[in-house]
Amino acid sequence: MVAYSEEQKRIALLLLHEPKTIEQLNQQLDIPYDALTRQLREMLQLGVVVKEGFPTQYRLKEEIAERAKKRKEIGEEDSNPVRLKITIEAQATERTGVEKALAEMEAALRKEPDFTVYECVLEKLIQTGEHYSSFLEVNLSVKDFRALMRLLFFYGPSSLEVLKPDKWTISADDLQDGLVDAANMVYSYNEYIIRQMTKKELLDFSKKLKGRFR
C-alpha cells in the first residue's frame, strides 16, 4: 500500500482541478522550493503526476484525477463518521483462486449496508513458489462502532489506516452493541480453534498470540 506524504496530498489536491507550474505550487502551498521539487520527483516516480509543456506544468494523471473526483463525489453524500483505508490479502495455489476470492470480497463489501466503499484497487498478482497472492486496497467508511467490528472480524484486513476523524465520540449503546458482537465472534472463533487443534498446538498458538500483542 503506497503511503503518500502530507505534502504530496496537498499537491495532488491542488492539481486536481488544473495543471500548475512549480512556481505556482510554491506560491499557493507555501512549501519550500527544494522540498516541493523532491515531492514532485517522488510523485513522478510513483506515476501519480506527469509533466508537460513549456513552461513545465505538472498535472495529475487522468486515471488518478478521475478516481479522486469520484471519491470526492461519494464523500459529499456520505454521512458515515469513520473513513478507513484497509488491505485485504488472499493466497492460493491457483491464480484463479486468488482472483475469485478477492472479487467475492469486493462484492461483499459493496453490499454491506453500513459501509460506503469509495474505491477498491486490486493489486498485481504475485507468484512465490507454488503460491499466488494479491490484495485489495480498499478506501471505505463505516456507519458506527458495530460496523467497524464487523469489518474487522468478517473481512480480516491485514493493515488498516484511519483517514478520519481525528477524534470520535460514540454512544454507550453503540459501544455495547459492538463489543457484544466482538465477544460473540471471538467466542465462536475460539470454539472452532479448540476443536481443530491439539492441546500442545493450542498452547503454542496462545503463547505466540500473547507475545504478539504485548
**Ranges of each domain in the chain:** 6-64, 80-169, 171-214
Strands 131-142 and 126-128: antiparallel
Whether 6-64 and 80-169 share one fold: the answer is no
* pTM of this structure: 0.73
The answer regarding whether domain 6-64 maps to CATH 1.10.10.10 reads yes
Q: What is the CATH number of domain 80-169?
A: 3.30.70
- Type and span of the H or E element at 139: strand 131-142
> What are the φ and ψ backbone dihedral angles of 198, each rounded to 5 degrees?
-75, 170
Of 71, 162, 56, 68, the closest CA to residue 116 belongs to 71
Best CA proximity match to 85, nearest among 129, 122, 137:
137
Would you give per-residue pLDDT tens digits along the chain (214 residues)?
556 788 888 898 889 888 999 999 999 998 889 999 999 999 999 888 999 988 999 999 988 888 888 988 999 999 999 999 999 999 888 888 888 889 999 999 999 999 999 999 888 888 888 888 999 999 999 999 999 999 999 999 999 999 999 999 999 999 999 999 999 988 887 787 777 777 777 677 677 766 665 6
